[in-house]
Amino acid sequence: MMARPVKFLFDTEFAAEAKQQAEPKVTLVEHQALVALARQESHSAGFAQGESQAMASIERQRAQALSAIGDRMIEAAGALLALEGRLEQEAIDIAVAVASKLAASLIQREPLAEIRTLVGDCFTNLRSVPHLVVRVHDDLLEDARTELTRLASERGFDGRLVILAEPIIAPGDCRIEWSTGGIVLDRDETTQQIAEAVQRYVGSDTPATLESTP
């Protein structure tokens, strides 16, 4: 007698296999360890990202600070140059003003000093001219005649010396003339030339006019 075939239970067999596959492959402890590791890695990654962002922010702030310092240094350098230029201008102006006052004081004390020096040079270099005319301020006529005549004799000038008074000539100034030329000693004009030279030196486009001290 043949054995009765057993019916194949398709649902039962595959359900058992699926259940076996669905059963967890790790224990609860291992699962918890993996979760903790994932959290730690996530925390480390977040910390690293935050640290990177913080460093980037610090670098930006540092760059901005350095840029601001550079701008301030440029501004300070420009201000310093302007200050140096102004101090130089003031120093030159003061020097010229002091020199003008000293010159005026010396002329007041020795009105014939520069005249005597200039005419003496003419006596030395113009020995062959037939005559020499010296024009001075009215108040200096007599003193100039006495001193310049003596000076002509000392320097060996053989030409004719003529001393004339000119009211428009300032005390301490003079005008010297000879047959082929002449020379003028004018303190006001000299002061103006000095002022223009100063302005050219400091680079100003507008020359200043210095008032001579009487």
Q: Structural domain of residue 174, as residue ranges?
A: 111-202
Establish if 129 belongs to a structural domain: yes
8 Å CB contact between 194 and 185: no
| Residues 118 and 161 occupy one common structural domain | yes
| Domain end residue (candidates: 66, 84, 109) | 109
| Residues 54 and 99 occupy one common structural domain | yes
| Residues 46 and 99 occupy one common structural domain | yes
| Residues 183 and 133 occupy one common structural domain | yes
| Residues 64 and 54 occupy one common structural domain | yes
Bridge partners, 183 (sequence order): 176
pLDDT of residue 213: 44
| Residues 196 and 143 occupy one common structural domain | yes
pLDDT of residue 78: 76
| Residues 32 and 69 occupy one common structural domain | yes
| Residues 99 and 127 occupy one common structural domain | no
* Mean pLDDT in residue range 109-115: 83
| Residues 187 and 151 occupy one common structural domain | yes
* Residue 22 exposed, middle or buried by CB count within 10 Å (0-12, 13-18, 19+): exposed
| Residues 59 and 99 occupy one common structural domain | yes
pLDDT surpasses 90 at 70? no
pLDDT in tens, 130-157: 999 999 999 999 999 999 999 999 998 9
Percent of the chain with pLDDT over 90: 19
**Number of domains observed in the structure of the chain:** 2
Residue for token pair 């350098």: 77
CATH of residue 120's domain is 3.30.2320.30
8 Å CB contact between 195 and 208: yes
| Domain end residue (candidates: 56, 84, 109) | 109
Residue for token pair 């005319």: 133
